[in-house]
Structure 1
């Protein structure tokens, strides 16, 4: 019987790459992890697309200080428009040509939504391969969520000088690596910045709502 993780990788890549996956299943595993790295996003305590995402668990450790709320400008829906030095960033992380091109074909959207509590927000990270959702996120409060690579991560959002940081620490064996993503506005663009061993990649998101 096919292991669950290999089945997931087949689903992630999609029919368009089925022949390549059959030849090289290891590339599919690596691809799932890179999409997770590119997008940086993972669900809280439910399976993505379940329709009923839950809030972070009650045993979260909080590093939140008073007044740390998501700035108004972050709320909205943003669509990935273009990237700079992103392939170089993926290369620095050790991913091969097949995986890098696969990520290029994926689409990404990010949505920040207000809740009834001004100190929390909902976050959706939507890709053409898998969607993930976080409900009632609090700045500075750690929680566990499922990543785009289908493993559990420890996640925390923090603010510094108007920049939003999203940090992921994988809690299970897998291809995913510990990552920090920085978000801030460059003119009208929502810029996502990431770096590894001195190589910086940037992804530019355009507001669509």
Structure 2
């Protein structure tokens, strides 16, 4: 259920994120910041309303959307894309489309206290793991 995603999550580790950022077209300086940042992510899902806030020493990002409705998103790396959030069972799936490309971010809770985020662009896959900080 989507309610398991609600709460505050602290970054624990990240795998292959630099390659994912390269595939997105992120420059070296921003990739270095992205690789050392340990963001705290807050997710709030109420019905079909979704709010997310990511806070790190590098940047604070906010996103608000409605499940199953496309919205205009500006990503942390400055891309302007069309995004849509959908539920696939207990997974929150975000599709970002821009300039003929598509990235898919899948968020789900592993057990009770780990949030997994799989970031996919083409054949590049990055996995980011967060620990529950607060419910």
Q: Please point out which of 130, 138, 143 is paired with 2:59.
A: 130
**Which secondary structure state, in structure 1, belongs to the residue aligned with residue 9 of structure 2?**
strand
Confirm or deny that 1:205 pairs with 2:134: no
Confirm or deny that 1:186 pairs with 2:117: no
Match of 1:113 in 2: 44
In structure 2, do the counterparts of structure 1 residues 145 and 198 end up closer, same or farther at CA, with 3 Å as the change threshold?
closer
- Across the aligned residues of Structure 1 and Structure 2, the Cα RMSD in angstroms comes to 2.7
Match of 1:165 in 2: 93
Asked which structure has the greater CA Rg, the reply is 1
Higher strand share: 2
**Equivalent-residue separation in structure 2 for 1:194 and 1:121 (angstroms):** 19
What TM-score, normalized by structure 2, do the two folds share?
0.77
Higher relative contact order, structure no. (Cα contacts within 8 Å, ≥ 6 residues apart): 2
**Which secondary structure state, in structure 2, belongs to the residue aligned with residue 208 of structure 1?**
strand
What is the Cα deviation at residue 198 of structure 1? 2.4
Which stretches in structure 2 are left out of the alignment for 5+ residues? none
**Which secondary structure state, in structure 2, belongs to the residue aligned with residue 180 of structure 1?**
strand
Confirm or deny that 1:81 pairs with 2:12: yes
**Equivalent-residue separation in structure 2 for 1:190 and 1:100 (angstroms):** 22
**Equivalent-residue separation in structure 2 for 1:169 and 1:195 (angstroms):** 12
Confirm or deny that 1:139 pairs with 2:67: yes
What TM-score, normalized by structure 1, do the two folds share?
0.53
What is the Cα deviation at residue 78 of structure 1? 0.8
